[in-house]
Amino acid sequence: MPAKNFLLLLLLLALLGPSAAAARTGDDGPGRWACRDGEREWICDDTEDGARCDHDRRRWTCELIEHLTRIRVRERLPLRFGNVITDPRRPGRVVILPSGERRLEGGATDMGGRYNAAEFAIVGMPGRQFSVLLPEEIELRGRNGTLTIRDFTTDSPETLRLNRIGLGRIGVGATLHMKPGQSSGHYRGRIPISVQYE
């Protein structure tokens, strides 16, 4: 039987987006508000008019104590796995690290093509730390079947801080899992992510 019947060519492309920017209570509005009673202070729920909160069964007027800029995320590069052939007798994996490095495992073999980690630009408050929320698993769909992406990774926590003008970047990698005998094709999917202030 010709060798081509044992190996399948896969073009694998995962598109991240549209990305969602999320923030915790108090970080997603015009500012952070607090009620004060002498030396005591507590954070209020943020409202459009910056109004009031309830505490100890009393109603207090809130003051604006810190203006917060909404954090936003913009995709610069999609996550790409490149061209891979896989042996139908063994499962294969393609690992993309946040740095852009690629590893092929199991029955996966490189056949060229472009691959890279996803890259995002983050815009928000200068100097603020932020975290990234990633899904546990995503399914990619092609004309002849599906593939699974798991084990999402991002840059180390030390890098997740906006600079003095409120800009930052993150790299996102993941592992593509291929079944033995995976059908050839062009596979795509959307990977939702969110960012929030720490």
Every domain of the chain and the residues it spans = 3-22+70-197, 32-66
How confident is the model over 10-19, as pLDDT tens digits?
333 333 333 3
Residues 50-100 pLDDT 10s: 444 554 444 545 554 445 568 888 889 999 999 888 888 999 999 999 999
Nearest-angstrom CA–CA distance, 64 and 48: 12
Confidence label for 194 from pLDDT (cuts 50, 70 and 90): confident
Q: Which residue has the higher pLDDT, 21 or 191?
A: 191
For the chain, give the percent of residues with pLDDT over 70. 65
Structural Rg of the chain based on CA atoms: 23
CB contact set of 52 (below 8 Å; sequence gap of 6+): 44, 59, 60, 61, 62
Calpha distance 197→150 (Å, rounded): 25
The whole-angstrom separation of Cα 163 and Cα 158 is 12
Distance CA 161, CA 127 (A): 6
Read off the tokens for 102.
């690629």
**Residue 184 confidence (pLDDT):** 81
What pTM, to 2 d.p., does this model score? 0.65
> Could you please report the per-residue DSSP string of 131-165?
EEE--SEEEEEETTEEEEEEEEEE--GGG-B--TT
In this structure, what DSSP letter does residue 69 have? P
Residue 156 has pLDDT above 60, yes or no: yes
